[in-house]
C-alpha cells in the first residue's frame, strides 16, 4: 500500500538499488556520463542489455521537483501514487526532495526510481543520473508549457528590465531553467546585462521563495516560473497587487516525468502505462494541477521537447559535468 508519509534522506537510503554500473562502458553515449550507453542515439540512457544490471525493487521511490511546500505535493500526488501501486504491484513511497541537486544525486546513486525533474534539471538528470523522461503534463487540448517572468513590486522603482541594472535580481538555483538559465541567456542577449557585472545576483533556492521575496519587498525583482506563480495566486499565498510582471518569455516545456534507466523493461513499461491510463477526474492531482490548466499526461521525447533547453544551456556555456 502507498506510504503517504514523508520520509527523510536516511530512510531513502534504505531503498538503495543494486547493480548500478560504476565503470566506464565501451559504447556510444554522446553527452551521457560514461556509466551509460546511448546506442539508439535518442540522447537518453539505454536500458542495460544484461539482465544482471537491471533491477526490480519491491518498493518504488517517487519524487516531484522541489518547488513550494513538499507537504502540498505529498497530498497532491496521493491518488496517482495509489494508481501506480495498482499498476505495478509495488509499494510506492513519496520522497520530498529539498533541492534539485539532491534529487539528481538520489537517482544517480540508485535511491530514486520515478521522478518529475524540473525543466532546467532535465538535461543534467538525463546525462548524469540515467533519467529517462517520457511525459509531461498538458491541458485537455494538448497544450503545455510555462513562461519565465521577471517580477517586481509596486514600490521598487523598476518599470522595465533595464531598470534592474545596478540593482539586485533574485534567481532560484543554477539548475533551474526559468529561475536562472533562461533569464541569464535572455538578459545577456536582449539587454546586454550580465550577472555580477550589471546587477547583483542572489539565489533564493526555490520559485516560491523568490515570489514571496518580491511580494514582501525582500527582493526588488526576481526571475520565476509563472506556473508556480499561478498556483500561489490560486491558493492566495500572494495577491496580484503585490507583484508586477515586466518580462514574459517564450513557452518552455514543464516538468518531465520518467524513470531510472536500469529498472527492468517490464517495470518501466508498467510505469509508463500507469501515467497514461490515469484518470484525472475527481483526483487530488486534478485538484492541484488544474490551477495551471493541466488535465493529462502527454507523451513526449527528451530529444525533441528539451531541444530549446539544451540550446539555452549552450548559450550559457553550461556543460553537463558529472562528479
CA distances from 225 to 68, 245, 249, 319 (A): 12, 12, 10, 23
Grid coordinates of 30: 554522446
Domain range for 171 = 146-252
Q: 243 and 229, same structural domain? A: yes
Which of 252, 267, 282 is the last residue in one of the domains? 252
What is the spatial distance between Cα 22 and Cα 16, in angstroms, rounded to a whole number? 15
What is the spatial distance between Cα 161 and Cα 150, in angstroms, rounded to a whole number? 8
Q: Is residue 223 part of a domain?
A: yes
Q: Is residue 242 part of a domain?
A: yes
**How would you write the pLDDT of the chain (323 residues) with one tens digit per residue?**
333 333 333 334 333 333 344 455 689 998 999 999 999 999 999 999 999 999 999 999 999 987 767 777 889 999 999 999 999 999 999 999 888 889 999 999 999 999 999 998 999 999 999 999 999 999 999 999 889 999 999 999 999 999 999 999 999 999 889 999 999 999 998 999 999 999 999 999 999 999 999 999 999 999 999 989 998 999 899 999 999 999 999 889 999 999 999 999 999 999 999 999 999 999 999 999 998 889 999 999 999 999 889 988 888 888 877 86
Q: 115 and 29, same structural domain? A: yes
Q: At what angle do helices 307-315 and 182-191 cross, to 10 degrees?
A: 60
Number of independent structural domains in the chain: 2
Q: 115 and 131, same structural domain? A: yes
Cβ-based burial of 314 (10 A; exposed 0-12, middle 13-18, buried ≥19) = exposed
Q: Is the pTM of the predicted complex or chain greater than 0.85?
A: no
Q: 271 and 224, same structural domain? A: no
What are φ and ψ of residue 272, in 5° steps?
-55, -50
Q: Quick one: which of 80, 167, 178 has its CA closest to 122?
A: 178
pLDDT at position 4: 34
Q: 257 and 132, same structural domain? A: yes
What is the spatial distance between Cα 138 and Cα 141, in angstroms, rounded to a whole number? 8
Q: 65 and 130, same structural domain? A: yes
Q: Is residue 320 part of a domain?
A: no
Q: 239 and 308, same structural domain? A: no
Amino acid at each position: 500500500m502507498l506510504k503517504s508519509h514523508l520520509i527523510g534522506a536516511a530512510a531513502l537510503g534504505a531503498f538503495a538499488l543494486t547493480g548500478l554500473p560504476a565503470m566506464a562502458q565501451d559504447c556510444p553515449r554522446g553527452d551521457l556520463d560514461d556509466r551509460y550507453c546511448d546506442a539508439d542515439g535518442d540522447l537518453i540512457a539505454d536500458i542495460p542489455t544484461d539482465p544482471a544490471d537491471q533491477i526490480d525493487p519491491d518498493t518504488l521511490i517517487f519524487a516531484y521537483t522541489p518547488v513550494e511546500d513538499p507537504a502540498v505535493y505529498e497530498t497532491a500526488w496521493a491518488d496517482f501514487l495509489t494508481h501506480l501501486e495498482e499498476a505495478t504491484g509495488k509499494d510506492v513511497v513519496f520522497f520530498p526532495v529539498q533541492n534539485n541537486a539532491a534529487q539528481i544525486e538520489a537517482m544517480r546513486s540508485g535511491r530514486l526510481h520515478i521522478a518529475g525533474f524540473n525543466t532546467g534539471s532535465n538535461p543534467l538528470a538525463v546525462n548524469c543520473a540515467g533519467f529517462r523522461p517520457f511525459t509531461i503534463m498538458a491541458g485537455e487540448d494538448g497544450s503545455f508549457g510555462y513562461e519565465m517572468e521577471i517580477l517586481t513590486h509596486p514600490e521598487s522603482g523598476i518599470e522595465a528590465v533595464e531598470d534592474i541594472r545596478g540593482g539586485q535580481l533574485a534567481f532560484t538555483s543554477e539548475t533551474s531553467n526559468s529561475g536562472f538559465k533562461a533569464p541569464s541567456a535572455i538578459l545577456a542577449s536582449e539587454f546586454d546585462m550580465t550577472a555580477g557585472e550589471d546587477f547583483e545576483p542572489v539565489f533564493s533556492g526555490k520559485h516560491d521563495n523568490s515570489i514571496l521575496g518580491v511580494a514582501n519587498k525582500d527582493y526588488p525583482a526576481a526571475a520565476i516560473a509563472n506556473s508556480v506563480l499561478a498556483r500561489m495566486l490560486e491558493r492566495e499565498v500572494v495577491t496580484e497587487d503585490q507583484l508586477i510582471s515586466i518580462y514574459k518569455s517564450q513557452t518552455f516545456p514543464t516538468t518531465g516525468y520518467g524513470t531510472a534507466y536500469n529498472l527492468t523493461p517490464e517495470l518501466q513499461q508498467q510505469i509508463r502505462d500507469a501515467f497514461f491510463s490515469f484518470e484525472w477526474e475527481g483526483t487530488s492531482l486534478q485538484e492541484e494541477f488544474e490551477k495551471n490548466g493541466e488535465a493529462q499526461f502527454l507523451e513526449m521525447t527528451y530529444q525533441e521537447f528539451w531541444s530549446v533547453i539544451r540550446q539555452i544551456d549552450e548559450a550559457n556555456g553550461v556543460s553537463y559535468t558529472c562528479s
